[in-house]
Structure formats: C-alpha cells, structure tokens
C-alpha cells in the first residue's frame, strides 16, 4: 500500500501545481463526453453512446433556436432539468425573443455552467417554426455523406482463438472455440440533409464471429434506416430500423431512460416519439416502419415491426431471449434468428398549453412460445406467444409545479405506475419527488423506466432529488432513494428493502476550472452461503464511495484528475476497500489538425464488490467503461488526425497491467494467459 499512497500524493501535487490561468474552451465533443460520463459514473447499466452522441452532435449543425423552440426540442439536451426547460419557455413567452446569449443569465435556474453547456447546441435568432419546402436538387447539393470504417483487435490471444476451426485439432462443429478471427469490424454509411432527411446503413462483425466460411458469409449484422421529418402534416416517417419511445417508458422505451445519476433532477425520460436507429445493439430496436401525424393539438403515431430474434428454441418453445447479438460459436449460431417477433403499436398524445395527455398501446406476437424455466425469482415472468400492454401518461404545469406520470397494464391485469412532481420554490432551489410501483406480475418486452432493477417489475420505491445553488459558482446536488422488492429476485431469495444516497458538491472555480466531490452510499441485501450453511441466508451489504474530480485547461492543454475510494461490508465479514486515481491529459496542436488524449490510472480493489467503472475517451462513435478489480494500472492513448476536410482518422491503444498474483485474465473463451490485456482500435471517416 505504501507505493499506492505515494502515487496518490503525486497525483494531488500534479493537480494543484498545474492549476493556473485558463484559456481553452471545451469543444462540443468534450462536452458530450463529460455529460455522458455524469450519467454513467454511478451506474453499471450499458447506455447506447452512439445514440446519445448522435442526438447532441446533430444540434451543433442544426442548433435549437431558443426564441421559437418547443419543450420537445429542449428535452433533447439531457443536462437541462424539467424546471429549467419550463423556465426557458416561460421567459420567452413573457418577455419575447432573446436578443443575445447574455440574456440567458436572466432566466431562473440557469447558471454559467448550464449556459456554457447549452451554447454549442442552441442559437438566438428570429424566424418561425415553419419548415421550408424540400427540393431534390437541394438534397444533392447540400446533403452530407459520411462513411465510417472501424477495426478493433486485442493483442493478446484469448483461449477461444487458440484453435481456429481450420486447425486439425478441432472442427467447425465443436462449440469449444470461436469460429472467426479476433478482429471487430464495422462499416457505416450516413446521409443527412439538415435534420429533415436521414438515411443510413450499418454492417458489423464482432470479434470471434466468422466473416466468410461455412457458418456465415459476410457481416453478421446489417441495419438500415430512413427518417423524414416535418413533411406537411407528417411530423416523422421512419422506415427500416427504428425506435419508439413514449411516456415514462412503462409500455415502450427500448432506448435508455433517465435513471439515478448526478443529474439528480432528471428522472423523466426524454426523446419521445419515433426515431431512426443506427447503433449496433442487435436487440433493442424495431424493424419495419412508422409514422407520426399532426392533427391540431394531437400527435398520432402508429408503427409495425417484424424481425427475427435470438433464442434457444426447442420443439416450438424457448426459455429466454438471447440479447447479446454475439454469434461466435456453433452454440451461438444455433440460437440465431430462431424466433419471429411481430409488434404493432401506436400512441395518441394531446398537448395544449401546459397540459399533455397520451395513450400508448402495444401488441407483441411470437411464433414460438416463451416458457421461462421457472424458479423462485422468475415465477411471475411472462410466458406465452402474445402480449398486449397499454398505458396512460400525463404531464402538466401549474405555476412552479410540474406533475408527470404514467400508469400501464398488461393483458393479465397486472399494473405498473410511476408518478412524480418537480418544484422550484425559488430560483436557487429545485427538487423532484418520484414514486413507483411495479407489480411482480407486470412484465413486458421493451419497457425502460426509472427503477433500481433493469427489469420493470416486482418493485416499489420513493425517490427525492434536490439541487441547491446557495452561492455563485457552487452547486449542491443530492438524492435519496428507498425501494422494496415484493418477491425474491435474482441473487436474493426473499422480499427485501434497499436504500441509495448520493451527495455531490460542484465548484466552478473559473471559466475553465471546475471540480466536484461526490459521496454515494448504498445498502441492500444479498444471498449469503458458507461452509456451515446448507441454505442461503439473507445478509445486508453496504458500499460507500467518495470521489474527487478536477477538470482544468491551459491554452491547448486540458487536464483531469480523479481520486476515488470505496469501502464494502457484507454481513459480519471484514470491511474491504478499493482505491483508484487517474490523470488525463489532452492536447490539441496549433499548426497541425491533431488531437491527443492520454490517461494513466492506478487501482487497488480488494474484492470484486470494490470494483470501479471508469469512463474513458475513445474513437468516434465508440465508448469504453472498463471494470477494474484487483491491483494494477491502465493507460490509453487516443489520437485524432484530420487529414483534410474530407478525411479523418482515429486511433486508440489501451493496456491494463495487473500487479497482483494472477496468471490469467477472465475465463472461458475470453481467458488470456498472463497479467496484461491490450486493445487497439482505429476508425477512418470520409465525408463527401
């Protein structure tokens, strides 16, 4: 531990030694990365970074005009709370159009940090909301074409690649090895004309999947989409692969929803409606088409999806859906596209002034019967070949009070409801309160709502978040969440209670210097077994963590320092600890179009429960949140070079080196001999 402590001291000295006058301004890409990190820092859930990035980067080219924006448009900015959005709309309604960006400081609830985050994505101008007529020659002349080619490769040989099918030691019918090579490859084409016409094609092969052979020919996954926006009475038309998001997500939201994060006020999901899908997640999307039609104060949406999904089908039934999208072994191929899933649904939403009411209905039909292998925790999971789910969602504003919620019911009569309100009594104080109840019998396919569990069922909870700005440059954010599971869940063989708390203090020292301290504590029960017990017992666990984060810039340099520690206690066992520290350095060259990001990180996590998840910068459209457990260090170098106006290239190399006694990393086909793991990624972008 003495060496680790010395390194931590050096990190602190480096942080404060370089804290000087700041000049550089964060780019839109850096802002998006920072916002994404805030959402993922305290969560183990996988969030679709590509969709997250696309939503925001689109507004750098087609900024939101604050003077005639709608609530729906402002909701695309995930760092704005519901109260801030309402205050912006109210200010423009009461005082007329803003004349300059400096007038944003007069809007209640917006500080300089919020305004700086907004600037790359908004504009201050005149004009109406009416869209100009489209002409085909304009699409050809002003439309943008983009082609992306990406390759990833792990340097060390994993166990699954030691004996490829063509080797004499194994044949292609064996399930012991991967069928393809260790290269990940994707090819993407994108066309867009402003935010009106969007078209794209995606092809992907995961590492270990066969590109050309007896099992597979070509890419393993293909996707295509067309989206048209604002064509007369049609608000949106989507064809190909798409997503449909409505209400609070109890009925339908395959896209990520707002969950617990340091943005403590943002608990309602955003981005309602139909939208194209261009990511590489091979499950959470629909394939078919849909339209949204405007009729005065009504938005009417209808869609249909027909796609094949992966499952372990036997004699016309299957026990679970295989959602990873990986087809690397013969057993994976046995599950590929074995079940047809058809979905038809729609939504009607009425919006008038400060009131909104909507109804969503979805019917799902399978050509094989879903029959989960029953155990205690999944006793109430859905089984059958068809399911209907419907829900009513609402939102209304009365003075400074915003009410929102949704109640849904499935065909078997089970119910889920989520209701809350946000309130800002004074400009420096905002709060949100949320209650949720999901029946144990409620279980639907594409629901994603605010919850402790990733599955929307068997849960009730009460959440409160508060944000206070007592002084200039200071912000205090906190939440408390108490939840209960009525029925046993995976890993816990009894009904249980849990609590979760977070406190974050932000200090914006100067324009390009900011820091925060974050404390989080969670208590929840788990199963416990030892040599003296034959049946699992339920014991309480508590994990607490403290994180210090400092961001600062100097000319073309940007720095970030993080120090984090945690402690974990399970029942009567001894307390275990985890510690990590990292130094980030980014530099953009003046004379040549090159930007580099470098990180060095050390970690010491005694047990798996002390593990860390740390977001790191990556190549375009990729994200990385590696998990650290044990004793070791990690570094990466991220490199971006704009060859000319049409060509750009990204390159990243990252390596984790373990300093404990381990002789292998991971297990099964992913096992690596040795104590280090190295990954290389590169991407080429061509605009034409």
Instruction: Compare 527 and 395 and report the one with higher pLDDT.
Output: 395
Output phi, psi for 297, to 5 deg.
Answer: -85, 5
Quick check: 441 and 477 in contact, CB under 8 A? no
Range of 8-12, 407-411, 588-592 with top mean pLDDT:
407-411
Q: Once rounded to an integer, what is the mean pLDDT over residues 207-225?
A: 91
Quick check: 650 and 620 in contact, CB under 8 A? yes
pLDDT band at 14; cut points 50, 70, 90: very low
Quick check: 541 and 569 in contact, CB under 8 A? yes
User: Among 192, 190, 198, 194, which Cα is nearest to 61's?
Assistant: 194
pLDDT at 168: 40
Instruction: Compare 228 and 57 and report the one with higher pLDDT.
Output: 228
pLDDT band at 394; cut points 50, 70, 90: very high
pLDDT digits over 304-322, tens only?
Answer: 999 999 999 999 999 999 9
What is the signed CA dihedral for 112, 118, 124, 126, rounded to 10 degrees?
-140
Burial 397-424 (b: 16+ CB within 10 A, else e): beebebebbbbbbbeeebebbbbbbbeb
pLDDT digits over 54-98, tens only?
Answer: 878 888 888 889 988 888 888 888 888 888 888 898 889 888 888
Instruction: Compare 124 and 147 and report the one with higher pLDDT.
Output: 147
pLDDT at 130: 60
pLDDT at 568: 96
The Cα angle at residue 391 between residues 388 and 396, in degrees rounded to 5: 170
| Per-residue DSSP letter, 608 | G
pLDDT at 399: 83
The Cα angle at residue 420 between residues 519 and 546, in degrees rounded to 5: 5
Write the CB contacts of 60 (distance below 8 Å, at least 6 apart in sequence).
28, 120, 121
Neighbours of 428 (CB within 10 A): 15
pLDDT above 50 for 234: yes
- What's the full length of the chain, in residues? 688
Burial 480-507 (b: 16+ CB within 10 A, else e): ebbbebbbbbeebbeebebebebbbebe
Percent of the chain with pLDDT over 90: 55
pLDDT at 81: 84
pLDDT at 533: 64
CA 122 to chain centre: 23
pLDDT above 60 for 21: no
pLDDT at 188: 96
pLDDT at 15: 39
Q: Once rounded to an integer, what is the mean pLDDT over residues 528-552?
A: 85
Q: Once rounded to an integer, what is the mean pLDDT over residues 419-429?
A: 91
Neighbours of 192 (CB within 10 A): 21
pLDDT above 50 for 20: no
pLDDT at 409: 96
Q: Once rounded to an integer, what is the mean pLDDT over residues 431-444?
A: 95
pLDDT above 60 for 627: yes
pLDDT band at 115; cut points 50, 70, 90: confident
List, as one string, the DSSP characters of 455-496: SSSSEEEEEEEEEE--STTEEEEEEEEEEEESS-BTTB-S-E
pLDDT above 70 for 408: yes
pLDDT digits over 571-612, tens only?
Answer: 888 999 999 999 999 999 988 899 999 999 999 999 999 999
Instruction: Give the predicted TM-score (pTM) of the model.
Output: 0.86
Count H helices, E strands: the chain?
8, 32
Three-class SS string for 141-205?
HHCEEEEEEEEEEECCCEHHHCCCCCCCCCCCCCCCCCCCCCEEEEEEEEEEECCCEEEEEEEEE
Q: Which helix (DSSP H) or strand (DSSP E) does residue 431 occupy?
A: strand 429-438
Quick check: 298 and 349 in contact, CB under 8 A? yes
pLDDT above 50 for 633: yes
The Cα angle at residue 560 between residues 558 and 563, in degrees rounded to 5: 170
pLDDT digits over 170-194, tens only?
Answer: 444 445 689 999 999 999 999 999 8
Quick check: 675 and 658 in contact, CB under 8 A? yes
CA dihedral sign of residues 674, 676, 677, 681: negative
Range name among 50-54, 211-215, 483-487, 531-535 with the lowest pLDDT average: 531-535
Quick check: 74 and 89 in contact, CB under 8 A? yes
pLDDT at 534: 67
pLDDT digits over 354-372, tens only?
Answer: 899 999 999 999 999 999 9
pLDDT at 239: 97
Quick check: 200 and 278 in contact, CB under 8 A? yes
Q: Once rounded to an integer, what is the mean pLDDT over residues 444-469?
A: 92
The Cα angle at residue 614 between residues 147 and 19, in degrees rounded to 5: 100
Average confidence score pLDDT of the chain: 87
Q: What is the residue whose two structure tokens read 């939208």?
A: 275
pLDDT above 70 for 43: no
Quick check: 251 and 389 in contact, CB under 8 A? yes
pLDDT at 256: 65
Instruction: Compare 262 and 26 and report the one with higher pLDDT.
Output: 262
pLDDT at 128: 56
pLDDT above 50 for 249: yes
pLDDT above 90 for 42: no
The Cα angle at residue 426 between residues 422 and 428, in degrees rounded to 5: 95
User: Among 423, 431, 510, 504, which Cα is nearest to 116's?
Assistant: 510
Quick check: 285 and 254 in contact, CB under 8 A? yes
Q: Once rounded to an integer, what is the mean pLDDT over residues 116-127?
A: 82
Q: Once rounded to an integer, what is the mean pLDDT over residues 417-442?
A: 93
pLDDT above 50 for 326: yes
pLDDT above 50 for 33: yes
């Amino acid at each position: 531990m003495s060496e680790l402590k010395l390194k931590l001291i050096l990190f602190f000295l480096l942080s404060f030694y370089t804290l000087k006058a700041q000049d550089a301004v964060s780019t839109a890409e850096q802002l998006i990365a920072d916002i994404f990190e805030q959402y993922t820092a305290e969560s183990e859930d996988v969030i679709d970074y590509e969709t997250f990035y696309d939503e925001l980067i689109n507004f750098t080219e087609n900024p939101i005009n604050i003077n005639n924006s709608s609530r729906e448009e402002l909701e695309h900015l995930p760092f704005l709370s519901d109260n801030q959005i309402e205050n912006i709309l109210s200010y423009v309604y009461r005082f007329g159009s803003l004349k300059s960006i400096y007038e944003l400081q007069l809007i209640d609830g917006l500080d300089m940090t919020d305004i700086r985050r907004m600037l790359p994505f908004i504009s201050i101008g005149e004009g109406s909301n009416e869209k100009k007529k489209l002409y085909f020659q304009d699409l050809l002349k002003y439309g943008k074409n983009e082609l992306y080619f990406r390759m990833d490769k792990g340097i060390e040989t994993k166990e699954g690649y030691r004996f490829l099918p063509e080797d004499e030691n194994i044949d292609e019918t064996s399930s012991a090895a991967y069928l393809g090579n260790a290269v990940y490859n994707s090819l993407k084409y994108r066309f867009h004309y402003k935010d009106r016409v969007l078209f794209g094609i995606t092809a992907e092969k995961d590492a270990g999947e066969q590109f050309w052979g007896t099992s597979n020919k070509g890419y393993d996954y293909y996707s295509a989409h067309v989206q048209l926006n604002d064509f007369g009475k049609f608000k949106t038309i989507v064809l190909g692969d798409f997503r449909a998001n409505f209400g609070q997500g109890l009925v339908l939201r395959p896209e990520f929803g707002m969950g617990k994060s340091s943005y403590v006020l943002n608990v309602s999901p955003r981005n309602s409606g139909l939208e194209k899908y261009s990511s590489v997640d091979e499950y959470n999307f629909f394939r078919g088409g849909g339209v949204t039609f405007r009729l005065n104060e009504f938005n009417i949406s209808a869609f249909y999806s027909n796609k094949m999904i992966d499952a372990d089908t036997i004699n016309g039934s299957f026990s679970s859906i295989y959602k990873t999208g990986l087809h690397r072994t013969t057993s994976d191929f046995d599950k590929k596209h074995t079940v047809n899933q058809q979905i038809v649904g729609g939504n009607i939403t009425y919006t008038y002034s400060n009131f909104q009411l909507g109804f969503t209905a979805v019917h799902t039909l399978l050509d094989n019967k879903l029959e989960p292998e029953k155990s205690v925790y999944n006793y109430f999971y859905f089984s059958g070949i068809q399911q209907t789910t419907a829900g009513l969602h609402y939102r209304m504003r009365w003075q400074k009070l915003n009410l929102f919620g949704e109640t849904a019911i499935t065909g078997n009569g089970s119910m889920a409801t989520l209701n809350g309100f946000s309130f800002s009594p004074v400009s420096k104080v905002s709060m949100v309160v949320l209650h949720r109840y999901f029946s144990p019998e409620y279980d639907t396919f594409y629901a994603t709502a605010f919850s402790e569990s990733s599955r929307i069922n068997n849960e009730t909870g009460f959440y409160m978040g508060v944000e206070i700005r007592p002084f200039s440059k200071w912000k205090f954010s906190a939440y408390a969440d108490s939840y209960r599971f009525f029925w046993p869940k995976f890993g816990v063989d009894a009904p249980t209670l849990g609590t979760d708390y977070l406190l974050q203090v932000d200090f914006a020292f100067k324009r390009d210097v900011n820091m925060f301290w974050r404390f989080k504590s969670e208590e929840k029960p788990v199963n416990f077994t030892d040599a003296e017990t034959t049946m699992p017992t339920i014991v309480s666990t508590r994990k607490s963590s403290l994180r210090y984060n400092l961001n600062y810039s100097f000319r073309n340099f940007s720095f970030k320092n993080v120090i984090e520690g945690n402690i974990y206690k399970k029942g009567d066992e001894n307390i275990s600890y985890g510690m990590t520290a990292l130094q980030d350095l980014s530099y953009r060259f003046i004379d040549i179009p090159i930007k580099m990001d470098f990180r060095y990180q050390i970690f010491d996590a005694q047990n798996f429960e002390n593990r860390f998840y740390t977001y790191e910068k990556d190549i375009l459209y990729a994200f990385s949140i590696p998990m650290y457990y044990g004793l070791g260090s990690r570094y990466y170098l991220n490199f971006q070079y704009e060859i000319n106006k049409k060509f750009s290239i990204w390159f990243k190399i990252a390596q984790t080196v373990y300093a404990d006694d381990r002789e292998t990393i991971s297990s099964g086909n992913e096992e690596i001999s040795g104590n280090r793991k190295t990954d290389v990624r590169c991407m080429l972008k061509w605009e034409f």
